[in-house]
């Protein structure tokens, strides 16, 4: 399947892009490299995109498994290299889920299905560096 995106320079370091959904994403750089610090950095879009990708899988899988939860957060910690290009060399995702009756086995299964089978962003990044995960269940 072919997909396209179009990204336009908006002066200084600002760029706005759209892709198949038609929704916009604006990126900027910090003042130290000539930007206005008005929007996310390109490398941040990758890490946040990874969280959104696996987060949507987990929400959808838990719904199918009839697991109820109130809150879901994905905390990512990554190592970024000092030398050019400044790539991530290791990514650790922590899934934090809040609910009073969450079955750890079902949550684990949902996370593993996402990481091993559905999450496209994770599958691509994993070719480049390790993507690890842990989870934490919080009872209200």
Q: In the window 30-89, what residues touch its own copies (CB under 8 A)?
A: 30, 33-35, 37-53, 55-56, 59-60, 63, 71-82, 84-88
Minimum distance between the CB of residue 76 and its own copies, rounded to whole angstroms?
A: 5
Establish if 140 lies at the interface with its own copies (CB under 8 A): no
Q: Specify the DSSP element, H or E, that contains 92.
A: strand 88-98
Query: By the 8 A CB rule, do 47 and 54 touch?
Result: no
Minimum distance between the CB of residue 134 and its own copies, rounded to whole angstroms?
A: 14
Minimum distance between the CB of residue 105 and its own copies, rounded to whole angstroms?
A: 21
Establish if 4 lies at the interface with its own copies (CB under 8 A): yes
44/108 with CB nearer its own copies? 44
Minimum distance between the CB of residue 71 and its own copies, rounded to whole angstroms?
A: 7
Query: By the 8 A CB rule, do 98 and 79 touch?
Result: no
Compute and round to an integer the Cα radius of gyration of the chain: 17
Token pair, residue 1, equals: 């399947």
CB atoms within 10 A of CB 64: 8
């Amino acid at each position: 399947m072919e997909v396209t995106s179009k990204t336009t320079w908006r002066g200084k370091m600002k760029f706005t892009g759209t892709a198949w959904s038609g929704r916009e994403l604006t990126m900027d750089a910090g003042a130290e490299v000539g930007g206005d610090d008005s929007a996310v950095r390109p490398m941040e879009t990758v890490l946040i995109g990874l969280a959104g990708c696996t987060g949507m899988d987990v929400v959808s899988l838990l719904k199918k498994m009839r697991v109820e939860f109130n809150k879901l957060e994905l905390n990512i910690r990554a190592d970024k290299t000092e030398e050019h290009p400044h790539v991530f060399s290791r990514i650790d995702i922590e899934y934090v889920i809040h609910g009073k009756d969450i079955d750890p086995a079902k949550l684990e299964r949902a996370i593993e299905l996402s990481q091993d089978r559905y999450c496209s962003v994770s599958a691509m990044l994993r070719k480049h560096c390790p993507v690890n995960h842990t989870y934490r269940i919080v009872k209200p």
